[in-house]
Amino acid sequence: MEPAVESAPVGAQASKQAKEGSKNRSRRRWRKGKVKASAFSHNMDLRTMTQSLVTLAEDNMAFFSSQGPGETARRLSNVFAGVREQALGLEPTLGQLLGVTHHFDLDTETPANGYRSLVHTARCCLAHLLHKSRYVASNRRSIFFRASHNLAELEAYLAALTQLRALAYYAQRLLTINRPGVLFFEGDEGLTADFLQEYVTLHKGCFYGRCLGFQFTPAIRPFLQTLSIGLVSFGEHYKRNETGLSVAASSLFTGGRFAIDPELRGAEFERIIQNLDVHFWKAFWNITEIEVLSSLANMASTTVKVSRLLSLPPEAFEMPLISDPRLTVTISPPLAHTGPGPVLARLISYDLREGQDSKLLNSLAKSEGSRLELRPRPHQAPRSRALVIHIHGGGFVAQTSKSHEPYLKNWAQELGVPIISIDYSLAPEAPFPRALEECFFAYCWAVKHCDLLGSTGERICLAGDSAGGNLCITVSLRAAAYGVRVPDGIMVAYPVTTLQSSASPSRLLSLIDPLLPLSVLSKCVSAYSGTEAEDHFDSDQKALGVMGLVQRDTSLFLRDLRLGASSWLNSFLELSGRKPQKTTLPTAESVRPSESMRRSVSEAALAQPEALLGTDTLKKLTIKDWGSKGNPKPSDSPEMSQSMETLGPSTPSDVNFFMRPGNSHEEAEAKDKVSPMDGVPHVRAAFPEGFHPRRSSQGVLHMPLYSAPIVKNPFMSPLLAPDSMLKTLPPVHIVACALDPMLDDSVMFARRLRDLGQPVTLKVVEDLPHGFLSLAALCRETRQATELCVQRIRLILTPPAAPLI
């Protein structure tokens, strides 16, 4: 009996270990099967996938219906019934979209547009449900089957599929309204507002919980989960007025309850994106700016000999005109909003090159606290023949070159050229056009002083991502308008080319994108355009009390006063003391132009024909109007320098970027009461009878439904620039993301350039989110996408082959 008593615990322990081993093997098989099933599902056509899913759903529904009156079995039966209903309802719409997607591609070699992305995202959701349904059908009788866990995941993906079906109907609606080949909504502005007002009420939380990042490559999802946990944790600190970069960083590691409760995390994520202002996002996106995290990122990145912050003095200088190098034009320091001030830029070079340790450059160096400064070395590499001028992204409101330094160091090593990255002032403290003025000033300074940066300047490339891509394009447009040297090429990654609140199929994906939600995009655009402080008076603002309202109105008054003063100061400094006078063509003795010539070129840099930039006309222009409206041929620089009369009468508003708002606020209020166009059904009619998508429970989302007139300025939305301006651009290389809400910006901009005969390439990477450059070290896919950007830059920096004789 003794041995039998001793063997009992051993036998129980062995049995327990066997069960745990079987459970672990089951999990491993499920994970491996998930990858295989996903790959298999993506190779299936849409109809076969739908039929397979419906068959499995019906089988599972019948099984759980026969399991008695239990709550879990009842919910499992209901969820499979819902999967069946949504899959059957979604398949015809996706089929229709698939049949026309090729009409919106740039060319046959670049099959990419928002319609394709939306269909792909829906297929990913269907593929996941198909795999999960197979798993349930195979394991539902097992004692290890976790009914509650599988039920929660199925309910989450059913909610996601329902919302994706709503997006598919919206895309179908756009398809019937837009002209063939046009991706952006061009209907009546009242209908646009009606569309957005309906769209923003959709429920989003299901995409930020269990379904977070399901459309991206699997290697990205752990990062997104960590980011979302940090975001919602930081949101709690923000509610308690606990802000700062250290708090934001600690939030990444103190969100335990959000990590174990995906539904709670999704609901809180939705609340944050609905209600918190742009200052919250500025604080959170600047997490990578703190010393600890930036030092960790630098340790993991390439070691370079030079990485120093420069402060470019706000002093005017002369630049030669391309048309006649004997003539120069004055490049004034940035003036908008805050007056003249230095512009910061970071110089990065893998090797120490000639000029980079000169006394003049050392005098411009700015201390960065504990960061190591450049140490002069006896051996210097010769100056590079090329230079890369980089402009970082961040929604115009966040980040600096410090956040982008890790991948810029890799670029410096791989390209073997120095890189200067511009730290422009950020909105909402410095709205448009301050950032553009600073980037243009720094670009011209770098071109003029490239020898100090370790380059001969034979080839110059402008490169940027997201908002920085927008600034790269507009800086080139402004350089061409001034008549100075434009870069030899532009490389932009996932750029935003129009800041209008126009709907497009790819922008519909902002409903599910954890990095670029629609409300956050709207807040960034409002901050950059200078309208961020214009809040509507509602019940929430009544809670401010008398003093709160006085403070709000005072801040609005001071903002308007600041904008007006900066506009006046800009015009005064530009035009004071410069009287129009007739001049003749300059002779060899007069290499330096007269003051009137400078004024003419400066005005011509920003002045556009009244038919294009007049306030009343501009409010009504669309993409079609910019492309088709006839434009006078731009005068070349010698003609501009001859006389003020060649430009016609000039006013300060010709030089200033700001456009008079007129009665835009009153117009917007009136439009809120106007019904959509006659003969066009309400957007709710896009849904078939009986279909009801889930609505947000986080209250009313306050976001502007009408674009401010200033966002149609071509220096803010280059997609809307007239043909004559776009023809001045150098070769443009665009690297976009197929699942990026900004994809259609890239496709339509590339199409406009190609229609004008301009050299342009578009490469679209799959399964990666917006901002992959900052995730370059995360996985193989992001490294490959980053290498693609490097290849495009190398094309620009490589001199064209000499023609054979």
Cβ contact 383:451 at 8 Å: yes
**How far is residue 449's CA from residue 451's CA, in Å, rounded to a whole number?**
5
Q: Which residues, at least 6 apart from 514, have a Cβ–Cβ distance to it below 8 Å?
A: 207, 208, 212, 213, 224, 227, 228, 269, 769
**How far is residue 758's CA from residue 187's CA, in Å, rounded to a whole number?**
28
SS3 459: strand
Residue 591 DSSP one-character state: -
Cβ contact 358:329 at 8 Å: no
DSSP of 364-416: HEE--TTSPPP---S--BPPEEEEEEEE--STTTS--HHHHHHHHHHHHHHH-
Burial class (CB in 10 A: 0-12, 13-18, 19+), 363: exposed
Residue of 701, 738, 732 whose CA lies nearest to 718: 732
**How far is residue 287's CA from residue 251's CA, in Å, rounded to a whole number?**
10
Cβ contact 266:231 at 8 Å: no
Cβ contact 556:645 at 8 Å: no
Q: Residue 772: what residue type?
A: F
365-366 sheet: strands from edge to edge = 365-366, 306-312, 343-349, 419-423, 384-391, 455-465, 489-493, 732-737, 760-765
**How far is residue 344's CA from residue 422's CA, in Å, rounded to a whole number?**
6
SS3 112: coil
Q: Residue 624: what residue type?
A: K
Cβ atoms < 10 Å from Cβ of 515: 16
Cβ atoms < 10 Å from Cβ of 777: 14
**How far is residue 735's CA from residue 755's CA, in Å, rounded to a whole number?**
19
Residue of 286, 308, 296, 292 whose CA lies nearest to 412: 308
Say how many residues make up the chain: 805
**How far is residue 663's CA from residue 675's CA, in Å, rounded to a whole number?**
20
Residue of 231, 213, 218 whose CA lies nearest to 270: 231
Query: Where would I find the H helices in 140-220?
Result: 147-177, 189-199
Residues belonging to the active site: 466, 740, 770
